[in-house]
Amino acid sequence: MLFRSELIWRLSVALAIGLLIGLERGWKARDAAEGERTAGVRTHALAGLLGGVWGAVVAPYGGHGVIALALAFLAFVAVIALFRLREITDEHIYGATTVVAAMLSFALGALAVVGEPLPAVAGGA
């Protein structure tokens, strides 16, 4: 079990990872009009934080917690993939980078809380 200050620090790292990934993704799509991007700075920041929060929630439950974290990850990926599919249908621009980046934001955020933060930060960079 993590102490409060340690948990807050790890959640901050999870948020920072998402911000870093989102900053890169947002910069790449900076010319797109507001509301036309699937995932940018805010979405990736929240995805990293969401992964961290889920990691913190399920950490005390051991193996069952890992299953719950995996299910949360799958639900998150399904939502992001659905939004990306709608974007592909509307704009006919194909690519999986947005979905993979969102998956990494969530997963690295979770790793920052339940695992070692340094490899999570390195993965986000």
Share of the chain above pLDDT 90, in %: 59
Burial class of residue 2, CB neighbours in 10 A (0-12, 13-18, 19+): middle
Write down the pTM of the prediction.
0.84
Between CA 73 and CA 107 the distance in angstroms is 8
Is the pLDDT score of 104 beyond 90? yes
What pLDDT, on a 0 to 100 scale, did the predictor assign at position 28? 66
Other beta carbons within 10 Å of 119 = 12
The Cα angle at residue 105 between residues 97 and 99, in degrees rounded to 5 = 25
Burial class of residue 63, CB neighbours in 10 A (0-12, 13-18, 19+): exposed
